Structures are given as structure tokens and as C-alpha cells.
Amino acid sequence: MQISDPPQTIASPSIAAPDRGHLLTEQINPQSLHLDELSPLELVDLFNQEDYRVVEAIGQAREPLAAAITLTATALRQGGRLFYVGAGTSGRLGVLDAVECPPTFCTPPDLVQGILAGGTAALMRSSEGLEDEAEGGAAAIAERSITAMDVVLGITAGGTTPYVHGAIGAARERGAKTLFMACVPASQVAIEVDVDIRLPVGPEIVAGSTRLKAGTVTKLALNILSSGVMVQLGKIYGNRMIDVAVTNQKLKDRALRILQDLTDLDRPDCQVLLNESQQSVKLALMMHWGNCNATIGQDYLDRHQGNLRQALKAIV
């Protein structure tokens, strides 16, 4: 996972800011007009009430989310990579999803990458001024040598972030597949991409604060996208993460419990099997169910692009 690190810039006060008041994410929420007069319990209830819009928005976007999963899984099977591009909260959520793929699904660090305007520093300190630089987004695409094999997902709550649009435009010029995720309808901000995912959750309780409902719905959508892609790639068996990276005691325990649950072996025998498979749950299961050694098991998995079910059908 890589993050771009351009120099800090501040928007010039002489440049007129475009009026964004028509955007859904910038509008005033009539339910929270007296927010500063509410009790703590009333505040909690109002936030809870508004957050129901998040689940509704995910449901309404089910078809484009499914299309994005199919497109991305196909690209990754063929050697491509997935890039999330964003600024501020949207970019940080992309980085978060990217860095969680290797430990959860044992993916190479460069398979899913987050590109954040402002780079590493922007994870800890706001650098929102950089989102205005379309050329910065385009440069980030060039720096990573993105090709027609790759997929680029632009994430922007309000849909207008120049950094994201610059990245999408540059990715399209290179032939990459492009996805777009925003919390405004396409009628307010149009863009030409392969899959357009819209998640309109309505005006925020605190007007314009898109780290709230917009941030929540973005996190849910990214969870669905990356997890769905990994399921399609054979990283999951049933509902178990059989490609889990056994890198600490918690994950070692999880690996052993997965083996215990899915086989007839006790924990000590599962430990032996895990050791013989070089700490690979998937290979351990292939060896046990396929009645083969690690070399043969890995060969069958390689022939079937790591899909355990397909490899088992071939060996049995």
C-alpha cells in the first residue's frame, strides 16, 4: 500500500470558490435545526435515526456494487491491481480498507493500494487544500505506473473533488477500469466511469460534515467491495478466512480454530498440519481433504488460481 506525499499547499484567497450549496452533502438537514439545544440522549437518538439512511443507501446501490465486485475480481485474476483514490475522510477510508487486506486475506501489499491526497502526513493531520489539485491526482496515477490491467476507484463524498477527478481522468487515459463512489446523485455531479456507485444518505446532521453519514456509508461500501472481491478470488471458504496471514497469536489461534472446525482433527494435530503447510490454512485444508503433501497441494491450488473448492474437485 502506497500513499503519495506531495508538498503542502494552501488555496489562494484570490481564487473564487465555486458555489457547492446545491450538492446533497452540503444541504441543511431539517431534522437537526436545533441541534445545539438537544440533550445528550436526544443527540444520540437523532444520530441513530439518521444513520438508518446509510443502510438504505447501500441497498439502493446493490447493483453497481455487485458490478464493481465482478469487474475488480476479473481484473485482479488477470494480474491487475486495485487503487483507492481520495482526499480527507474519503481518502483515509480508502487507505484503511487497503491496509486491512494483507492481514485479512494474505494479499500482497501492492494488490490493493490507497492513494491519499497529502500522503502519509494527511492520515494524522488534515491537509484538505490538496484536494483542489487535479494535477496531483493525475501525477499519483503516473507515479504508480497504472495500466489497462488495473482498477481505480475514486472516492469523494460530494463528488466534486478535483484530485479524484484528475486521477480518474488519468487512469482512463491509460486504459484502466474506473469506478466512482459519491454521496450525491449523478444529476448533480456527472462523471464517465465503468461503474458509478452513488450512496445518497441525505444532508448531514452537522451541515456539510461528510465524515458522518457519508463517511459511514463509504466504509460500509468499501467493506462490501473488498470482501466481495476476495470471496470471488477464493480467499474465503464458506465464511472462513482461509487465507488469513498467521502473523500473531490471535491470528494463529484463529487459524487453528478454522482447521479444527472444518476437519476432524484435534488442536495438536491441527498445529502439525499448519506447520507442514508453512502456516497456510488453505494449503493445510487442501492437504487434509486432498490426502496429499504440501507440494502436490500447492500445485493444485496454483492450477486453479488459489480456489480451494475447484482444486479439491480436480484432485478427488
Instruction: For residue 56, indicate whether it is catalytic.
Output: no
b/e per residue, 105-117, with b = 16+ CB within 10 A? Answer: bbbeeebbbbbbb
Q: What angle do CA 261, 267, 273 make, to 5 degrees?
A: 90
Where does the chain show beta strands of DSSP type E?
82-86, 112-116, 151-155, 177-182, 195-198
Task: Identify the active-site residue in 100, 133, 143, 173.
Answer: 100
Separation CA 137–CA 130 (nearest Å): 9
192 counts as catalytic: no
Residues 6+ apart with CB under 8 A from 105: 230, 233, 235, 241, 243, 244
Q: Is 178 helix (H, G, I), strand (E, B) or coil?
A: strand
Which of these, 178, 200, 228, 170, lies nearest to 4 by C-alpha position?
170
Using DSSP bridges, classify how beta strands 151-155 and 112-116 pair: parallel, antiparallel or unpaired.
unpaired
Spot the catalytic one: 131, 133, 173, 192.
131
Interacting residues of 18 by C-beta distance below 8 A, sequence separation 6+: 160
Which residue type, as a one-letter code, is found at position 143?
E
Enzyme catalytic residues: 100, 131
